Amino acid sequence: MSSDNGLLQQLQDLDRAVLFSGATVVTMDPGLGILRRGDVLVRGTTIAAVAPDLSEAAGDAVVVDATGMIICPGLVDTHRHSWQAALRRIMPDVDDLGGYVMSTLARYAPVYQPDDIYLGTKLAMLTALDSGITTVLDFSHNSRTAAHSDAAIQALIDTGVRGVHASMRPHFGDWDGQWPDDLKRLRETWFASDDQLLTLRLATLATDEIAGPDLAYGPRLAAVAQDLGIGVSIDAVFGTASSEAILGWARAGVLNPGVTVIHATGLTGDAWKALADTGTTVALAPTSDAQIGLETAIPAVDEALAVGIRPGLSIDVEVALVSDMFTQMRTLHAIQRMRAVNEVYGTTRAPSRITTHDVLDFATLQGAHTNGLGAVTGSLTPGKQADLLLVRAGDLNNMPLNDAVGTLVLGTDPRNVDTVMVGGQVRKFGGRMLGVDVDALRGQIEDSRDRIIAAAGA
């Protein structure tokens, strides 16, 4: 799509309807399916209609010729530690969780100032939008002061992402002791309205193994979330200790659909049954589990599906991992299918493989459900928010278009993302991020990185 300035100005007027015309439309809505050639009508912040031809219903809408494009829902990240972006790939070959914890959380995190939190989160969110991720759960676990939390939330606002701020105190080092009490202030200050791009969650850990009992989920923290009417995201859920914790939470009645467990590798069958019975959601981190080697190192997609849980996907830590969702989908697709074939090798049993449609579902509709936003985003369903992306199917690495879902999952990367819309607002157009001074941001983030490394004595 040409980055025509006149068309762009019209698209940025939220009082005007927009008709994306002539695209292949992958709705991820089970009732609407895939339109080989279709139209998507956006009015204000919402999707008004999806059909093969909406030209007569469009009225005075701005018409965008999307021929040669795939339109799909915005991708959804269910767990990213965004504040770390200034330290991207600083430890690309980290071998285990302990190495990450002692370097990033024990050495670097304690020297972060609010400005560092702001810049890291801003960079992570802009990178997400650039690659077609329209919703991010920012697991912000370096909230040393109220100002640190405010800086992280301000970055979400300034970038225009659909952001979920999941607040947690730091693991190590000095902090103000304001968490979790400060969540009440955050709720009243930043999240007073439910009709906005931002939502709030409580972030915590599964057990006391990493940072002590105050961070371990249980009735005390569940009560905080319940009183505020917010969800809970629990990180570092893996292995025997987490399995026992899950069973304890089930007995205490603090598992429910508003709770998300992250990773979920190496859990027992009883723990999985407890998660399923309570409607608890699951966020997988395919590259993190496999590359860092978390517990079994195998993303727990088979275990989730076996009990009827369709998980969301996440990026996790950019200090060692990739930043985009296309890689997460491909990694999970390849690992699961490899595992399925390996398990039946030498027998007459047929492997149970997931599909490209499955992983795209995990990265869109199920991710939204995991973040507590299933009624808001995740599919091109009329009435939902207009969070969508246009992908160039005619680029060298995608042409010719034969299977739209296969192209999105196995062919596409961020360079093919032409246009990104969040809540009806265009954030990327013609392959270019809007309102972003990349050179200025580069200088700021490099200065932040240099200060962090120097202060940490690294």
Nearest 5°: phi and psi at 391? -115, 135
C-alpha–C-alpha distance, residues 258 and 282, integer Å: 11
Structure tokens that stand for 141 in this block: 């676990």
Q: Is residue 440 part of a domain?
A: no
Q: At what angle do helices 356-363 and 325-344 cross, to 10 degrees?
A: 140
Claim to verify: residue 171 and residue 212 sit in the same structural domain? yes
pLDDT in tens, 444-453: 999 999 999 9
Q: Is residue 180 part of a domain?
A: yes
Asked if residue 340 has pLDDT above 80, the reply is: yes
Structure tokens that stand for 284 in this block: 């997988």
pLDDT level of residue 194 (50, 70, 90 thresholds): confident
pLDDT in tens, 84-128: 999 999 999 999 999 999 999 999 999 999 999 999 999 999 999
Residue 1, pLDDT score: 56
How high does pLDDT run on average in the chain?
96
Choosing from 354, 370, 386, the residue where a domain stops is 370
Mean pLDDT, residues 145-171: 98
Residue 260, pLDDT score: 98
Q: Is residue 414 part of a domain?
A: yes
Mean pLDDT, residues 255-263: 98
| Least confident span in 3-12, 116-125, 223-232 | 3-12
C-alpha–C-alpha distance, residues 351 and 138, integer Å: 36
Choosing from 370, 391, 422, the residue where a domain stops is 370
Claim to verify: residue 108 and residue 151 sit in the same structural domain? yes
Residue 40, pLDDT score: 98
Q: What is the domain-level CATH number for residue 154? A: 3.20.20.140
More confident: 448 or 58 = 448
Q: Is residue 450 part of a domain?
A: no
The sheet carrying 312-313 orders its strands as: 75-80, 133-140, 162-167, 199-205, 231-238, 259-265, 281-284, 312-313
Mean pLDDT, residues 204-228: 94
Q: Is residue 439 part of a domain?
A: no
Claim to verify: residue 360 and residue 404 sit in the same structural domain? no
Q: What residues make up the domain containing 27?
A: 5-72+376-433
Mean pLDDT, residues 246-255: 98
Residue 21's CB: how many other CB atoms inside 10 A?
21
Q: What is the domain-level CATH number for residue 40? A: 2.30.40.10
Residue 200, pLDDT score: 98
The total of structural domains in the chain comes to 2
Compute the radius of gyration of the chain from its Cα atoms.
Answer: 21
**Cα→Cα distances 152→118, 200, 225, 230, Å:** 5, 12, 20, 18
Mean pLDDT, residues 45-72: 94
Mean pLDDT, residues 63-70: 96
The CA-based diameter of the chain, rounded to the nearest angstrom, is: 65
Claim to verify: residue 138 and residue 225 sit in the same structural domain? yes
Asked if residue 240 has pLDDT above 90, the reply is: yes
Q: Which residue spans within 269-405 are E strands per DSSP? A: 281-284, 312-313, 388-392
Q: Give the residue among 395, 393, 413 at the shortest CA–CA distance from 403.
A: 393
Beta strands 432-433 and 425-429 are antiparallel
Residue 3, pLDDT score: 53
Claim to verify: residue 210 and residue 280 sit in the same structural domain? yes
Q: Is residue 449 part of a domain?
A: no
pLDDT level of residue 440 (50, 70, 90 thresholds): very high
Claim to verify: residue 81 and residue 63 sit in the same structural domain? no
Mean pLDDT, residues 277-304: 97
What percentage of the chain has pLDDT greater than the value 70? 99
